[in-house]
Structure 1
Amino acid sequence: MTALSMTMLSPTPVYRDESAAGSKLAPRPSTLEGKVLGLLPNWRPSAVHILEALGALVGERFRLKNIVMEQRVLQVPITEGKLIDSVREKLDDLARRVDVVITASGD
Structure 2
Amino acid sequence: MTTQPLTVLDPTMPATPVNAKLAGRPPTLDGKVIGLLDNHKRNAAEFLEEVRKLLAERYEFKGVVKATKPDVSRPCPTQTAEQLAAECDLVITGMGD
Normalised by the shorter chain, which TM-score bucket? 0.7 to 0.9
Structure 1 or 2: larger helix share?
1
Q: TM-score, normalised by structure 1?
A: 0.66
One-letter identity of the residue aligned with 1:27: G
What is residue 69 of structure 2 aligned with on the other side? 73
Larger Rg: 1 or 2? 2
Count of matched residue pairs: 86
How many Å apart are 1:23 and its aligned residue? Answer: 3.6
Matches within 5 A, 1:28-43: 28-43=25-40
Q: TM-score, normalised by structure 2?
A: 0.72
Identity of counterpart residues, as a percentage?
Answer: 36
RMSD of the TM alignment (CA)? 2.2
Give CA deviations for 1:43-101 in whole Å, capped at 9, x if unaligned: 2011000001111111121011011111x2342464xxxx3xx6344223212211111
Where do 5+ consecutive residues of structure 1 fail to align? Answer: 1-14
State how far apart, in whole Å, the 2-side matches of 1:57 and 1:64 are: 12
Where do 5+ consecutive residues of structure 2 fail to align? Answer: 1-11
Matches within 5 A, 1:21-60: 21-60=18-57
